Amino acid sequence: MIQLSKNYLNTLSVWRRDFHRYPEPGWLEFRTTAKIADQLEAWGYTVHVGQELVVGERMGLPNQKEMASFFERAKDLGANEKWLEKMAGGYTGALAVLETGKPGPTVLFRIDIDALPILETTNDKHIPQRLDFRSLNEGYMHACGHDSHATIGLGLAEQMMQHRNKLTGTIKILFQPAEEGVRGAAALVESELLNDIDYLFALHIGTGVEKGVFVAGTDGFLATSKYDVTFEGVAAHAGAFPEQGKNALLASAQAALALQALPPHSDGSSRVNVGTLHAGAGRNIIAANAKMQLELRGETTEINAFYEQQMRNILEGIATMYDIKVHYEKVGSAVSVPSDRQLAEKLAQVTKALNIPTIDYQYFNAGSEDATFLMEKVQKSGGLATYSIIGTNLAAGHHNECFDIEEDDMLPAIEAWLNMLVSLCEEDMK
């Protein structure tokens, strides 16, 4: 087994703190991508950035103003123009490809790299604050650990090149944009660059697993769809001409009730949540506009699809009821896919051999993940996929302003994947 030196943590820490200092939200990871791509190219990888990778429709794309602002910021921070050019318009993310030239498996490691629109705490107990790598991008924060994911990806890439002689086949590392809100994977999954994968590995740090423990395979991601809904009616003076209005506030209230009153599903658990509702322009005006953010979840992809159909019925019906326009847009989506137990067990053998405390397989009630789109693609084409968790001590829960990981837990993740890869190259288990 290949063991990494503890000193390598210094390298990882520098990378991770740099990513942490410059958090960028989904579709705006200009500087993050450029930095990663520079490194990968320097190490000898073929690097794909832009529209050959991001081939599908992008959900939840930020508006023009934000787009321009983050793009300029990246430029100001010295991001390589070569990559920026390819990313213009929000085509962020990178794919590193290593063609070994030897026959062997095609393996894909998937990493997510985006940050969240959360204002990072300035509390002195918060290590990024104390050690001065708190977000410099006020109002945005790596509060889900994707800075450490990006670091793990870079570490793996560097180590792979150190052990290149042990590798066969084609190895790819995907630095995926826009995982938050489950927006990115669906736009990449159809890229030909991601075809014919034999083995797919994805992971997350934290999510409630004990420090240092490696969960080799997981199940329990809920299929989900996120929608933004707008209702457009007609304003009228509520006192003078109430009958002239087409009331978008009432329409959205009725829609919210109907959505929340959808029945449970006998095939498994489900969730419907209208999380936000904003309607109306003034007290004495029949509200002409309303906006709603909602999400649907299902224990299976089919259950989720059932609720999508119900939602469409409700929204189209509401439009007729109130004679208003209703527009809904999918801004995020993930399917429900379990890890392959076979691959998880293989990975667990590796981590056990590395003396990493290991749980072979675990059912998580862990929300949703768009890596499932890639897992589904791989499984459908006959490959195997597993989603792992590496435990750490969290300073606060995911998406909390005080969230922080412990950096030493990045090391075993790289060791696990690196040795797994070598093992697969040695003996193609399929």
Q: Which of 282, 329, 342, 353 binds a second copy (CB under 8 A)?
A: 282
Instruction: Note whether 295 binds a second copy by CB under 8 A.
Output: yes
306 is an interface residue for a second copy by CB under 8 A: yes
- Among the listed residues 9, 55, 77, 285, the single contact to a second copy using CB under 8 A: 285
**Residue 338 tokens, joined:** 């379990």
Task: Name the nearest CA neighbour of 255 among 317, 331, 179.
Answer: 317
Verify binding: residue 300, a second copy, rule CB under 8 A: no
Does 305 contact a second copy by CB under 8 A? no
Binder among 197, 287, 359, 378 for a second copy (CB under 8 A):
287
321 binds a second copy per the rule CB under 8 A: yes
3-state SS assignment for residue 391: coil
Residues 6+ apart with CB under 8 A from 96: 40, 45, 46, 47, 157, 172, 173, 175
Residues 253-272 that bind a second copy (CB under 8 A): 253-254, 256-258, 260-261, 263-267, 269-271
One of 51, 64, 123, 276 touching a second copy (CB under 8 A): 276
Residues 31 and 179 sit within 8 Å (Cβ to Cβ): no
Q: Does 13 bind a second copy (CB under 8 A)?
A: no
Per CB under 8 A, does 393 bind a second copy? no
Give the nearer residue to a second copy in terms of CB position, either 106 or 304: 304
Q: Does 56 bind a second copy (CB under 8 A)?
A: no
Q: How far apart are CA 123 and CA 424, in angstroms?
A: 45
Return the range that interacts with a second copy (CB under 8 A); candidates 24-32, 45-53, 279-287, 376-384. Answer: 279-287
Q: Of the candidates 80, 293, 362, 423, which one interacts with a second copy according to CB under 8 A?
A: 293
Q: Does 250 bind a second copy (CB under 8 A)?
A: yes
CA distance 287 to 62: 26
Segment 349 to 368, residues that bind a second copy, using CB under 8 A: 365, 367-368
b (16+ CB within 10 A) / e for 20-40: bbbbbbbbbbbbbbbbbbbbb
Question: How many binding residues for a second copy (CB under 8 A)?
Answer: 64
The residue among 111, 118, 248 whose CA lies nearest residue 188 is: 111
Which of 85, 196, 323, 428 touches a second copy by CB under 8 A? 323
CB 270 within 8 A of CB 264: yes
Q: Which is nearer to a second copy, 100 or 293 (CB)?
A: 293
Of the pair 272, 348, the CB lying nearest a second copy is at: 272
Nearest CB to a second copy, comparing residues 95 and 259: 259
Inter-helix orientation angle 30-42/8-21, to 10°: 150
The Cα–Cα gap between 243 and 234 comes to 10
Q: Which stretch binds a second copy (CB under 8 A): 48-56, 66-74, 161-169, 273-281?
A: 273-281
Q: How many helices (H) and strands (E) does the chain have?
A: 12, 14
Give the SS3 label for residue 231: strand
**Shortest Å distance, C-beta 220 to a second copy:** 11
User: How far apart are CB 316 and a second copy at their closest, in Å?
Assistant: 5
Instruction: Find, among 151, 158, 140, the residue nearest to 175 by Cα.
Output: 151
3-state secondary structure of 131: coil
Name the one range near a second copy by CB under 8 A: 156-164, 248-256, 335-343, 416-424: 248-256
- What's the rounded Cα separation, in Å, for the pair 90 and 54? 10
How far, in Å, CA of 153 to CA of 169, rounded? 19
Residues making contact with a second copy (CB under 8 A): 222, 224, 226, 238-245, 247, 249-250, 252-254, 256-258, 260-261, 263-267, 269-271, 273-287, 290, 293-295, 297, 306, 313-314, 316-323, 365, 367-368
